[in-house]
Structure 1
Amino acid sequence: MSEAKEDANHIEKLYEFGERLSESKDKSQNVKDYQGIIDAAKTSIKAKQLAAQLIPRFFKFFPDLSSQAVDAHLDLIEEEELGVRVQAIRGLPLFCKDTPEYLSKIVDILVQLLAAEEIVERDAVHKALMSLLRQDVKASLTALFKHIGSADEPSTDEFIREKVLTFIKDKVFPLKAELLRPQEEMERHITDLIKKVCLSF
């Protein structure tokens, strides 16, 4: 079978899996479809891009496949192909939408990606982090500040620390009126986070 035909088959199967999952009333019954999506993340570039959209979209319905799904998605983030990486980055906030226990881990991943050289990739990281901040500002800020360092957990990577500080200064603070709600509680939370950072110096 030619590579193009095989590629088309992967894409077609992915669309079938996605369609069945979308139409299913009880998605948890479609384990094979979701497994098929995860498996497709190891095939062609176009299939990987589509899988990067579908894995997070249906993630919440398959807790038994969660670690496999996250691992497959993280592999997509490390892909050589920029389009696959960007699509995978865009999908990261969806993992936390209905499964907030993943938020800290996803913020950690995105923080590492702040160092991305490609502008389009870095832009996707910024948008993903902002999306997480809008989902749960307190947990997201706590996870971000972890990378700045504190007396309990000093920052191990000065470069990443700088990237996080720049992100907070350039992206978060300009939107503080929108993001930091309830204002008094969030200001207190940020003050506490900053105090922890200051104590580490």
Structure 2
Amino acid sequence: MRAWAIIAGVVMIPGVAGAQQSSKDVLASFGMKIVEPMTAKELAATRVRVDAELARSGTAALFENVSDANGGRARHRASGLVCPLGKKGQRVLAASMDQASCETRDGSTVYKTKVERAPEGATLDTVAAKALTDAQKEPGYAASGGVSVTGHPRPGSGLPDHQTLRFLSRIDGHERASRLQIGVVRGWVLTERRETPNTNAQPSSMSEILSEATFGTSMTAQQ
């Protein structure tokens, strides 16, 4: 059975061996890839790498290794956040019982996901306002499209409403374009951020649609 795996903002579709290269190229233009499910041997090796990353970051007691044939993953026990791990560029940034964050570096693009316990009475508007205030404190901040209410997922999907903030800032001395999405899920504030070099290029419309449609899957998958 084919399954959809959301990894670092890219939809990975397990496919069949011998898929036509032209099909791969078409999917690549939409920010999608066809991947083969891992063999038992590959999965075992992936689980070892995930365990090694949890040990390196000192967070083994806070995460559960939930890797399967579609990829290496670890679930934060307290929040349910699932982080992609086991590949080069994937790591846990920090974790405790009250927060967790992880990162995937894919070339010049960086994806960061973070959860933290929501303050009492927190709403989408209040957490989005705080996210905007925090973004404005970053060096070289400049709005790029502003905040837009984008998340009203299909009823029954289990995905949360969210807001999206787009801005420019200087990170490690370089101007970067960030897309930051934020929402409240089961009493946790979930933030998903993508950083890319600022080339003034328009983002892929399909990539943007996918990011809006899949926000929150890292907190709802495999529950």
TM-score of the two chains, using structure 2 as the length reference = 0.25
Larger radius of gyration, structure 1 or 2?
1
Question: Whose helix proportion is higher, 1 or 2?
Answer: 1
Question: Whose strand proportion is higher, 1 or 2?
Answer: 2
TM-score of the two chains, using structure 1 as the length reference = 0.26
